[in-house]
Structure 1
Amino acid sequence: MKLIIHTFKLKLRHPFTISRGTRTEIPSIIVELSHNGKSGFGEATANPYYNTTVEKFEEELIENHKIIEAFSNQTPEEYWTYLLPYFANNMFLLCALDEAYNDLYSRLKNLKLYEYWNFKPENMPLTNYTIGIDSVEKMTSKMKEVPWPIYKIKLGTKDDIQIVTELRKHSNSIFRIDANCGWDVTETVKNSVELKKLGVEFIEQPLPVDNWKGAKVVYENSHLPIIADESCIVETDVEKCYNHFHGINVKLMKCGGLTPAKRMITKAKSLGLKTMIGCMTESSVGISAIAHLTPLLDYVDMDGALLLKNDIAKGVTLNNGNIVFSKLNGTGVLLNK
């Protein structure tokens, strides 16, 4: 098996702001694993909050290329377990390798990835479209630019209820709220009352990650479901979220890829938690991998590639929130030339 590394800068259609800051472009690394004339692709993007950079990714891939290229027809689950000791401190890179190997493995079997998993692409949730923090006028303009059945609205300002009140005047779509750790307990409970009146479906990660006591209070008093994001990074976090959140949002890059994400979803369901997969701002390489998990999910947030000026790949497409799978096998990805 051969490792090929591609690096890109993903430019955004609009500056993207959340409670932690603003970004206009996202550095991305694409891992390509090639064997017997076929290739699989996976992605990791740089994220200051998680101290990841493309330069570090590339350096680590080159350093470990012999380990990565060792191939003896392992299943994706076996390959992930094999790689874990070498990449345990870099879940983003482990994710890219896991996505690429799942893609390659299913292509070598002439199957789409969901077919290899014996999933049926039916009753899949619609994806939301994300509106970053901005002036109300610009947030409204972004909604009008992309009419969509579900919007995820980033909040974490002093005027959050006023923002949602104004946005509601311009759309009957479902709203989801993501505060990205920007609220306190009292604020969250109070906001949940008003947001429910405004047709909000749920609130994602309102409190800082270390406030588990506060999360319990919010869980017991909120008028809307609370979904964990930053509080649910890896597999061991799922059980912690039980009786503190109503559901979890799994990010492939944070947990280490498709392989652990499937286990996290299974565990969450066994605990009665709602399940969601979210994305980073990433290309159609990462987004297409997410799509194959959607038959398992209650909610999905896989709009990352829609936020780009320059998607660097083709794969799964989104039609008014609906997922349209590629005709290609594996995850269905093809890099643009």
Structure 2
Amino acid sequence: MARLTMAVAAEQLQLAQPFRISGYLFERFNAVVVTLRDGAQQGRGEGDGVYYLKDDAANMLAELARFRELIESGPSRDALRAQMPPGGARNAADCALWELEAARAGTPVWRLAGQPAPRALRTTFTLGANDPELMAAEAQRWAQARAIKIKLTGETDLDLARVAAIRAARPDVWLGVDGNQGFSIDQMDRLVGGLVAQQVSLLEQPLPRGGDAALADFRSPIPLAADESILTLDELPQAVGRYHVVNIKLDKCGGLTEGLLIAAEARRLGLGVMVGNMGGSSLAMAPSFVLGQCCDIVDLDGPTFLTNDRKPGVAYTDGNVWSGPEVWGSGARESA
């Protein structure tokens, strides 16, 4: 690529209401947006960081400043991946390179990525941890949802009451739960037994990162998904024999380039593939929507938590998410 100019902007994306998970309460997403220009075309990418790695806006801005010379030199995506560490900053730069490359080629990102023509994807809609009756009422308000993911907090009795209340309110939906590292191996038998009773189809990241070896001897009738435990392609082999599914998030792995590599390798290893998000606007969801075309489970509901999303944005209809060419990555040749 020819030499580029990079513009970086930090943005606060306000949540409509606080969102609670195990050990953390979100009130806003702190995004960093990268725009790369070559004088005729441009590409954009949004990074929202990884809160449990202290990959916040300040860290992302510092990383982009540290690697500005590399990024503005117009590297290939592979070169960027080789030289810049994973995280929200590289995700933003990588996605900007994808969109710029698409604009230069006059072809959409999905085609450059070797993906089939995009289709609308069924997405989970996530319920933050709260009182069971409040979560059940929220599940009913999400009438269009066909899949719901429930945030748990590691309090087994309360968590199972949450699941039971939501299942009673929405007997029609696919249910998954996310432990966000909040449980111990000693809680797993009772937790899983209660989830089976409520027809839960996925248990995501029950144990803390680093404690995954305990799952090697645990036989779960519900598929287990790795999230915090598997950040990058290099860590993927650790999932084998412990998890059934890997949750790929572009902020964790550092962009769509690595996300696609993880998906392909996960298939080779016999693992299911899920695409998730660390929150963010439609600009963050759109590259993940490309990856989602080859995934078994899709969790791209980030913009539904915001008071204001970008326009144009991704659309949610009848439980599906759709990212059109006007949102990101169309390959249109537009002047900066």
TM-score by length of 1: 0.90
Q: d(CA) in 2 for partners of 1:149 and 1:24? A: 26
AA at the equivalent of 1:253: D
1:277 maps onto 2:275 in alignment: yes
- Runs of 4+ more than 6 Å apart: none
Q: Secondary structure at the match of 1:210?
A: coil
Q: d(CA) in 2 for partners of 1:333 and 1:310? A: 26
Q: Secondary structure at the match of 1:288?
A: helix
Q: Give deviations 1:7-29, integer Å, cap 9, x for gaps.
A: 21111122100002111112111
Q: Secondary structure at the match of 2:228?
A: coil
Q: 2:62 aligns with which of 55, 59, 62?
A: 59
1:120 maps onto 2:119 in alignment: no
| Residues 84 and 102 of structure 1, relative CA distance in 2, 3 Å threshold | same
Q: Does the CA contact (< 8 Å) of 2:106 and 2:331 recur in 1?
A: no
Q: Secondary structure at the match of 2:169?
A: coil
1:109 maps onto 2:105 in alignment: yes
Q: Give deviations 1:167-188, integer Å, cap 9, x for gaps.
A: 1111021110000111112322
AA at the equivalent of 1:15: P
| Residues 38 and 122 of structure 1, relative CA distance in 2, 3 Å threshold | closer
Shift, 1:124, TM fit:
6.2
Q: Does the CA contact (< 8 Å) of 2:153 and 2:180 recur in 1?
A: yes
AA at the equivalent of 1:210: G
Shift, 1:302, TM fit:
0.7
Q: Does the CA contact (< 8 Å) of 1:105 and 1:330 recur in 2?
A: no
- Matching of residues 36-115 of structure 1 within 5 Å: 36-71=39-74, 79-84=76-81, 86-88=83-85, 90-115=86-111
- Matching of residues 131-280 of structure 1 within 5 Å: 131-147=127-143, 148-158=145-155, 159-171=158-170, 172-218=172-218, 221-280=219-278
Q: CA RMSD in A?
A: 2.1
Shift, 1:329, TM fit:
8.0
Q: d(CA) in 2 for partners of 1:214 and 1:32? A: 43
| Residues 18 and 332 of structure 1, relative CA distance in 2, 3 Å threshold | farther
Q: Secondary structure at the match of 1:32?
A: strand
Q: Secondary structure at the match of 1:296?
A: coil
Q: Secondary structure at the match of 1:60?
A: helix
Structure 1: gaps (5+ residues): none
Q: Does the CA contact (< 8 Å) of 1:124 and 1:297 recur in 2?
A: no
Q: Does the CA contact (< 8 Å) of 2:16 and 2:305 recur in 1?
A: yes
Q: Give deviations 1:124-159, integer Å, cap 9, x for gaps.
A: 641100001011232123223322100000002421
Partner residue, 1:328: 326
AA at the equivalent of 1:281: G
Paired positions, count: 325
Q: 2:34 aligns with which of 24, 31, 37?
A: 31
Partner residue, 2:9: 6
| Residues 7 and 165 of structure 1, relative CA distance in 2, 3 Å threshold | same
Between the aligned residues of both structures, percent identity stands at: 25
Shift, 1:116, TM fit:
1.9
| Residues 322 and 15 of structure 1, relative CA distance in 2, 3 Å threshold | same
Q: Does the CA contact (< 8 Å) of 2:212 and 2:242 recur in 1?
A: yes
Q: Does the CA contact (< 8 Å) of 2:94 and 2:257 recur in 1?
A: yes
Q: d(CA) in 1 for partners of 2:63 and 2:214? A: 38
Q: Does the CA contact (< 8 Å) of 2:313 and 2:327 recur in 1?
A: no
Deviates more, 1:294-303 or 1:59-68: 59-68
Q: d(CA) in 2 for partners of 1:232 and 1:275? A: 12
AA at the equivalent of 1:186: D
Shift, 1:160, TM fit:
1.0
Structure 2: gaps (5+ residues): none
